[in-house]
Chain A
Amino acid sequence: MNPEQDQFEKLQKLLTLKRGEQPPPGYFDDLPNRILLRVFPIQRRELLPWWQRLMGVFDPRPVVLGAFGTAVCGLMMIGFSLNEWRLSQAPAEWASDSYLLYNCVNPTVPLQAGIGISPRLRGIAIANSSTTPLVTEYPNNPWLEGQAFRAQRVSFVIPFH
């Protein structure tokens, strides 16, 4: 017999030794039960509605839930801070608009003649007399529907130059 063929046959005999390696007795009797015990909760979870499944993701992971809550709070704080910063950096024109609108609902705050009225709002101011509200509603805004701007009569005429 050629030596290569002989070595190959011996190797195959050696590999039969691997076939004899068996797990502990009774292992295969028990394995299906262990698998079913792990499969059963998965099947139950699949039958739940989506929102319960979503909550189930956080159930065994309080740390993840805490991290998620912290992240949401953090994002909100960043949002507020950015908004504050943006307003502080905004051009004076924006501030005058706010001032004018604020004055509509708080007529006790005196409006100084010609100061602080942006060119954008001048047309509206002219079209409205002191007895008609400057802004009474938010047109085409479904979010604020039914929440009309609280308009009060003002006791002065806005002067323009």
Chain B
Amino acid sequence: MTLDAVTSELPDTLIPPAGEVQELDLVQKAKEGDLLAFDQLVRRYQERVYSTIYHMTSNHEDANDLVQETFIKAFQAIRSFKGDSSFFTWIYRIAVNKTINFLKKRKNRNHLSLNDLDASTENDPDLVALISHKTPRREVNLAELQERLNTAMQKLSEVHRLVVTLHDIQGLPHEEIGRIMDCNVGTVRSRLFYARQQLQAYLTDYLK
């Protein structure tokens, strides 16, 4: 009996989506030492992992080091990945743990090294409206605002910064954040509420 024949007899709920099948296949190959399969996994998740780490550290060089270490750690530990969660959640957990450990060590060395804003953001009408009424010198103000925003983010504790990053910047649902942070949805919601209040207080000049 062929694989297609077997899967055609299974109820739809038991059949994982095509992307997930491909991911499981890639993970299995990577477990067997297939570097090309691992390369595919890196290419699939690098942007999201980098983005999370970057928004946590506000430093491109640190994010670059940590994202590499995250994937190296993932390669070394991939045989222990049992598939209890999605690969995406698993690799996020590695990235988050590495970043939080790094931030604890770095505690007293907060050097911002911010990435440039892309053109679409600079021309975002909502953002333009938000900034232009503050000052006519928009370019200067945009860079200043970016730095102010990142400084405010750095004032949050690691867990509060993480929920803001994962929810408000990356758009992950509360449930997924709960799985990544190994806590329940209620905790995620309360941390998010507290973190937003803190940010509003730090950025009050821009929110009037």
> Which of B1-9, B17-25, B114-122, B183-191 is found at the contact surface with chain A?
B114-122
Contact B117 A35 (CB under 8 A): no
> Which of B31-39, B82-90, B98-106, B174-182 is found at the contact surface with chain A?
B31-39
Contact B43 A17 (CB under 8 A): no
A61 CB–B CB distance under 8 Å: no
Which of chain A's residues have a CB closer than 8 A to the CB of B172? none
Measured CB to CB, the residues of B under 8 A from A are: 33, 35, 38-39, 42-43, 46-47, 50, 54-55, 60, 63-64, 67-68, 71-72, 75-76, 114-118, 120-122, 124, 126-127, 130, 142, 145-146, 149-150, 153, 164, 168-169, 196, 199-200, 203, 206-207
Within the complex, what minimum Cβ distance (angstroms) separates A48 from chain B?
A: 13
Given A21-B116, A23-B115, A38-B72, check contact A16 B54 (CB 8 Å): no
Contact for A36 among B35, B64, B164, CB less than 8 A: B35
Contact for A20 among B35, B72, B117, B130, CB less than 8 A: B117
Contact for B50 among A16, A31, A34, A40, CB less than 8 A: A31
Within the complex, what minimum Cβ distance (angstroms) separates B101 from chain A?
A: 19
Bitwise interface map of A from 122 to 148 toward B, beta carbon under 8 Å scored 1, else 0: 000000000000000000000000000
Max chain B CB contacts within 10 Å: which of A8, A11, A28?
A: A11
Contact for B169 among A13, A19, A32, A36, CB less than 8 A: A19
Cα-based distance from A38 to B67 in the complex (angstroms): 12
Within the complex, what minimum Cβ distance (angstroms) separates B127 from chain A?
A: 6
Contact B127 A8 (CB under 8 A): no
Contact for A11 among B120, B124, B203, CB less than 8 A: B203
Within the complex, what minimum Cβ distance (angstroms) separates A133 from chain B?
A: 62
Contact A14 B206 (CB under 8 A): yes
Measured CB to CB, the residues of A under 8 A from B are: 7-8, 10-24, 28, 31-32, 34-36, 38-40, 42-43
Contact B46 A15 (CB under 8 A): no
Which of chain A's residues have a CB closer than 8 A to the CB of B120? 20
Q: Which chain B residue has the least Cβ–Cβ distance from A38?
A: B72
Which of chain A's residues have a CB closer than 8 A to the CB of B199? 11
Cα-based distance from A13 to B47 in the complex (angstroms): 22
Given A21-B54, A35-B72, A36-B39, check contact A15 B168 (CB 8 Å): yes
Which of chain A's residues have a CB closer than 8 A to the CB of B64? 23, 31
Contact A8 B200 (CB under 8 A): yes
Contact B116 A38 (CB under 8 A): no
Within the complex, what minimum Cβ distance (angstroms) separates B202 from chain A?
A: 10
Cα-based distance from A21 to B116 in the complex (angstroms): 5
